[in-house]
Amino acid sequence: MSPKHRHVSANDITMHCTEQGEGPLVLLLHGFPETSYSWRHQLQPLAEAGYRVVAPDQRGYGSTDCPEGVDNYTILHLVGDVVGLIHALGEKHAVVVGHDWGAAIAWHTALLRPDIVRGVAGVSVPPMPRGPVPPMSDARERFGEDFYQVYFQQPQAAEAELAKDIPTTFRKVLAGTPTGEGSFLGRFAVPESLPGWLTEADLATFTGQFATTGFTGGLNWYRNLDRNWELTAAWQDAPIVPPALYVIGEHDFVRSVCPPDMLENPALVPDLRAVVDVPDSGHWTQQERPAEVNKALLDFLNGL
């Protein structure tokens, strides 16, 4: 049994998916700047455990369509892609798992369409309650104009920086040591050697994918953060009701931005089954510590 690749029409776009196994559907949603390749260590273990595992390249990434225009990347488009994909795969329900931005999409899919989500798991990024002010205003006040999400709002600035030398971009972002100074990439030092979890072949795969698509699609997700706040007003204070799991690495930088203790509010995710801290892991959790992440996911899936 090996992964197969297919293209699926969903929500008026064509999505590339990597699929393996048979059984209840589990969707794996990647983050930024990644593709479905970031879930390469999860496909076989979950498939061998009796699940149909599908990892799509999301809107604007990899071999999936990249519509033009920032307004084609709102949270409603991205959740719509997940809902459309579940139905296009011939299923009525799925467990939705996401990492980084993919976690935000997974949480929002569970929030907006709990009728089709059997369970939801977020890796790295916890569910974020809708705040009292637009998120970019909050980010500027808390972290300043140099905060990466604020920087990403500038048209073409981040594209130019990230695409100037794509192999170095991924070497820095995935394996670099934070320095805390300079532009976005300037805040990372080029590693002298790659960590054990990341190979030159892995870097070449990501480099090739983004050399083809560029970075605009993924950056457009960030450029809709304030618009998403406006679009989700009707769900203010609404709970995420499907069974849920949260997984975060011990050294993940997200801890300083979104403290895990926000999940101590039971009104936010009333059926939170577990919070799993992954030791000796940074932000790229399912790539860095696949055995621990796979165990957490399978414990959760088998308990549904």
Instruction: Give the active site residues.
Output: 100, 283
CB-CB contact of 228 with 111 (8 Å): no
What is the spatial distance between Cα 124 and Cα 153, in angstroms, rounded to a whole number?
A: 22
42, with CB counted inside 10 A (0-12, 13-18, 19+), is buried
3-state secondary structure of 196: coil
The Cα 39–Cα 53 span in angstroms is 10
User: In the sheet that 13-20 helps form, which strands lie side by side, from edge to edge?
Assistant: 4-10, 13-20, 52-56, 25-29, 94-99, 117-123, 244-249, 272-278
Collapse the DSSP code of 247 into the 3-class scheme (helix H, G, I; strand E, B; otherwise coil) and give the result.
Answer: strand
